[in-house]
Amino acid sequence: MKSHDRSRRQLLIRGSSVMTALALGRLSVHAHASSQQGDEPGRGPAKSAASPAAAAGTITLGQDLVVNRLGFGAMRITGPGIWGYPEDRAEAVRILRRAVELGVNFIDTADAYGPETSELLIAEALHPYPKGLVIATKGGIVRPAQDKWERDGRPQHLREACEASLRRLKLERIDVYQLHAIDPNVPLEDSIGELGRLQQEGKIRHIGVSNFKADELERARKIVEVVSVQNRYNVADRSSEPVLRVCERDGIAFIPWSPLSQSARDSDAESRARLEALAARRGVSVPHAAIAWLLTRSPAMLPIPGTSKLKHLEDNVGAASMQLTAEEMLEVG
C-alpha cells in the first residue's frame, strides 16, 4: 500500500472512530455555545457565541464545565526564562484581559510559572472573575532556581501547593487542578490520592493530569475521575497519540502544550514543513495554521496557545474560525 493511501486510510479510520464517540455521547463537543449563556460561574462561556474564540465550538470538562475550545496558556506572561515578572507588567495584564474580551474562557497556568507570578498576574488582571471563566492550574513542580524544574509529588507538598494557589488566585475552589508531572520518587497513587482528598474537601472541582502516558492515565482513573490530560502535542510531535485516542474514546479533554510547534526540536519535521506551505498558501501565519490543524485533528483537543504579545494573541484566537479541509489534513499528514 502506498504511503499516501495508507495515510488517507488512517485518517478515515480516525474520523470514523471520533464520529462514533460523538454519536455515543462520550465526547461532549458542541459547535455553538449559545445554550450556555448566563449560567453560574464555571458553567458557561464568559462571552457570547459571537466572540472570536467561540468559533472553535465548546467542550465539556467533566459533566458541568463548558468552555470554548480555544484557551490561553499563561506561562509566557512571566519574565524571561519563565522567571519573575515580565519587564512590561502592564502588557501582561492587557493580554489577559484582551483574551477574555475575545471569548477565551479557559486559562491554564501553574504555580511553577514564575514561580507564582503567572497566578498572581491572573488575579491582578481578572479578579473578580467574569461568569464562566475557568482557571486551571497545576502543582507538583518546584523552581528552586531559574534553570531548575524539579518534580515534587509528595501529598503534603501538593496540599500546600493547592492551598497556596487558592490564595494567589483569590479562589475558594479551583475548577481544574492538575498534577503537573509524576514524581518518580512518589507512587502515582499517593499523589493522585491527595488530589482526590482535596476534591472531597471542596478545594478542587475537577482533577486533571499532565505529562502522562496512557498506562499512567489508566492508573490515575482508578482513583479519581480525570477530566483533562495536558501533554506535549503538535503537528511535529505526536508522541502522545495513544493518550489522545483514550481521551477521544472516553470524553476527556486533551490539552496540547507546545501547540504551535515552534521549538528547535520540531523544526526539521516534514509535517512542520508541509504546514508552513499550507499557511503560506492560505495567507496566514504558521502559528495560526498550527492551531487550526489541532482543532481539526480531534474534537477532544483544547489548545492553549500562549504569548507575551498582544498582536500574537489576536492572531492565535483568530485561528478558531479557520477550517481545514480533509484534503489539507491529508496534505499535512
- Please give the distance of CA 268 from its chain centroid, rounded to a whole number: 25
Q: Are 72 and 104 in contact (CB under 8 A)?
A: yes
Write down the pLDDT at residue 261. 77
Which listed residue (85, 113, 129, 233) is catalytic?
Answer: 113
Looking at domain 3-332, its CATH architecture is Alpha-Beta Barrel (3.20)
113 flagged as catalytic = yes
Write down the pLDDT at residue 7. 43
Dump the DSSP string for 94-146.
Answer: HHHHHHHHTT--EEE--TTTBTTHHHHHHHHHHPSPPTT-EEEEEESEE-SST
Do the bridges between strand 106-108 and strand 150-151 make them parallel or antiparallel, or are there none, so unpaired?
unpaired
Write down the pLDDT at residue 297. 96
Task: Give the contacts of 177 (CB within 8 A, at least 6 positions apart).
Answer: 136, 137, 138, 139, 162, 165, 195, 198, 203, 204, 205, 206, 207, 208
Write down the pLDDT at residue 260. 86
Q: What is the pLDDT of residues 56-105, one digit of tens each?
A: 999 999 999 999 999 999 999 999 999 999 999 999 999 999 999 999 99
Please give the grid coordinates belonging to residue 157. 507538598
Domain boundaries defined on the chain: 3-332
Average pLDDT of the chain? 88
Write down the pLDDT at residue 17. 41
Write down the pLDDT at residue 262. 72
| Positions of the chain with pLDDT lower than 70, given as ranges | 1-50, 263-264, 266-268
